[in-house]
Amino acid sequence: MLNEQLKAIKRELGILKDDKDSVSEKFRQRLASLTVPVTIMEVIEQELAKLSNLESSSAEFSVTRNYLDWLTSIPWGRYTEDSLDLVKAREILDHDHYGMTEAKDRILVVQPSSNCLGVYSLISENTGLVLDQLTIEKSVLQTLIRFYTRESGVRNLNHLIERIYRKAALNSILNPVNEKNLTPERLADLIGPVKYPENTFYGKKTPVGVTTGLAWTAVGGAVLYVECRPRPEGGSGQLLLTGNLGDVMKESSEIALTVSQSFLKRKYPDNDFLVLNKGRIHLHVPEVI
């Protein structure tokens, strides 16, 4: 009680100010040295007026105070000269961050602008390279479609082509090379390794125990290899199933084993591997990319 009376006396004498008054004065002192746009200043005045009507103990008071603190901390009207020296920017990034090449390239590409045409406007000023000076051969498009994208539309393909132009534009500044024609061999350097490699592990002719199958995927389908090997040890006449197998494929595999055992029992009744259950089969179906 005595403390509250003492505070009231100090306020009347002008010795002590309310928290709201102190906070508002601090914000106005910050604004005195800034050139705040009219629209922003209107928002600040509205928030200051709202702050003066709120109880300092309320949650909304803290929210409004934090908002004003952020608004008045921005250096309104103060500007620095931008540096678009990409070579220097590359040196700084390489010095401060090890690896992360793709992330650093992305930073350098979007530094002058957030779109491909903006990048090329900068390139034309520095190197004279423009969009129609880099030719993408038909074989490059075929490689992109076959090994980098798998979709029903062309959104990812368009995205990859934009990445190629952005990276080529960046390279023309960092490593000036008179590159006019883009070949498939250069794709790995520009957009990374292939995303969907061909599963040609066995060439044109598969060995005994391996066959090809078709798999359904979200973007159409794919060819996969089904691999099968005998395992004489630990025989039980059962299947060892590994790989990417759903319930239907597991059931189909069990049915195939039953049919095989029935066939062998008729044709080769003395077969001790499957008929007499002295061995088992390992069936592997790799995951489809």
* pLDDT by 10-residue block (mean), the chain, 289 residues: 64 57 85 90 91 84 90 89 79 87 78 48 46 73 84 80 80 68 81 75 77 76 81 71 84 87 82 70 77
DSSP letter for 37, please: -
Cα dihedral sign for 174, 178, 181, 184? Answer: negative
State residue 86's pLDDT score: 79
Number of Cα atoms under 13 Å in the Cβ half of residue 20:
16
State residue 200's pLDDT score: 58
State residue 107's pLDDT score: 79
State residue 257's pLDDT score: 84
State residue 25's pLDDT score: 86
Separation between Cα atoms, residue 122 and residue 82, nearest integer Å? 14
State residue 67's pLDDT score: 92
Other beta carbons within 10 angstroms of residue 190's beta carbon come to: 18
Strand partners, 229: 282
DSSP string, 145-204: HHHT---SSSHHHHHHHHHHHHHHHHHHHHS-----EE-GGGHHHHH-S-SS----SSTT
* b/e map 139-165, b = 16+ CB within 10 Å: ebeebbeebbbbeeeeeeeeebbebbb
The tokens describing 141, both together, are 């498009």
State residue 123's pLDDT score: 45
**Which domains can be identified in the chain, with CATH numbers?**
1-73 (no CATH), 84-118 (no CATH), 135-191 (no CATH), 210-284 (3.30.230.10)
State residue 241's pLDDT score: 87
